[in-house]
């Protein structure tokens, strides 16, 4: 079994001009059809995805803040991240709230809230998405949507346009059988996919898994250089498991 790799673009690549974007397979999203999507950027280069859950908070993966030396900017209202679209809002991060149980280089508790320095302006291009219910578990085989600006495949060229694909919720026992000690069913969910329909890849970390119109997962990890291998389910942090913590942070 191959060790998993976080779905993240190395900072050094981002800062030297590489842009890794696009779900593998899948399709290009209708422009601005997902107004909650956020591109997290260092030095104006995309690194991770995120989701706007209130005008002043973005939800993402904890491992997306992989350096303390560079400030992060949240870009909202984007479709083509290679352009300064009029719809875009660029807002600096005022505070990073990583889950207190998360440790660098680990796989569990991989969730983070970003407090924006100023409130996003809510309009037709930028809208917050509501959180799932605390007990809003999604059964296996339900089709969900993933989206982001990650790689178009293992060792494949990138797209600067927001892309999306469909993946299905997998049984937790199957996730555990494949990922062994890396998978914690209390805090994680995983999905099945095929190469034809596509799915997440490196650079999609922090983006949402949308099921029944609600974000149920935060993109966490897959296999290094083999995001399109259907033998290895994609893994997401389970949002509803963290609702009490999310609400506590947002009350500050």
User: What are phi and psi for residue 79, nearest 5 degrees?
Assistant: -125, -55
* d(C-alpha 179, C-alpha 202), whole Å: 18
List 205, 228, 234, 240, catalytic entry: 205
Answer yes or no: 63 catalytic: yes
Cα(189)–Cα(28) distance, integer angstroms: 25
Q: 205 catalytic, yes or no?
A: yes
Cα 225 to Cα 47: distance, rounded to the nearest angstrom = 17
Element (DSSP H or E) covering residue 13: helix 11-15
Angstrom CA distances, 84 to 55, 58, 69, 164, stand at 21, 20, 25, 21
By C-alpha distance, which of 61, 238, 21 is closest to 147?
A: 21
* Dist CA 219 CA 208 (whole Å): 6
Mark out the alpha helices in 82-227 (DSSP H runs).
172-179
Considering 32, 39, 47, 110, which one is annotated as catalytic? Answer: 110
Please give the angle made by the CA atoms of 74, 77 and 79, to the nearest 5 degrees.
Answer: 105
CB-CB neighbours of 192 under 10 Å: 17
Count of C-beta atoms within a 10 Å radius of residue 232? 19
Active site residue 56: no
> What residue has token string 């800062």?
15
Distance CA(98)–CA(214), nearest Å, equals 22
Among candidate residues 32, 63, 97, 234, the one labeled active-site is: 63
Catalytic residue ranges: 63, 110, 205
């Amino acid at each position: 079994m191959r060790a998993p790799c976080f779905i993240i673009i190395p900072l050094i690549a981002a800062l030297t001009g590489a842009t890794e974007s696009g779900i593998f397979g899948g399709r290009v999203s209708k422009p601005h059809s997902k107004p909650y999507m956020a591109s997290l950027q260092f030095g104006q280069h995309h690194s991770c995805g995120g989701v706007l859950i209130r005008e002043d908070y973005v939800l993402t993966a904890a491992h997306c803040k992989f350096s303390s030396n560079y400030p992060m900017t949240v870009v909202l209202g984007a479709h083509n991240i290679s352009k300064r679209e009029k719809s875009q809002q660029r807002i600096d991060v005022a505070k990073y709230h990583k889950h207190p149980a998360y440790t660098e280089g680990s796989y569990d508790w991989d969730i983070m809230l970003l407090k924006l320095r100023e409130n996003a302006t809510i309009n037709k291009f930028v809208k917050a998405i509501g959180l799932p219910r605390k007990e809003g578990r999604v059964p296996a085989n339900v089709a969900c949507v993933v989206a982001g600006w990650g790689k178009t495949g293992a060792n494949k060229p990138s797209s600067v346009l927001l892309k999306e694909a469909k993946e299905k919720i997998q049984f937790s026992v199957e996730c555990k059988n494949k990922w062994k000690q890396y998978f914690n069913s209390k805090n994680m969910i995983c999905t099945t996919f095929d190469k034809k329909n596509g799915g997440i890849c490196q650079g999609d970390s922090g983006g949402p898994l949308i099921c029944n119109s609600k974000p149920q997962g935060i993109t966490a990890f897959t296999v290094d250089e083999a995001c399109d291998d259907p033998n290895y389910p994609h893994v997401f942090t389970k949002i509803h498991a963290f609702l009490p913590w999310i609400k506590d942070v947002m009350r500050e």
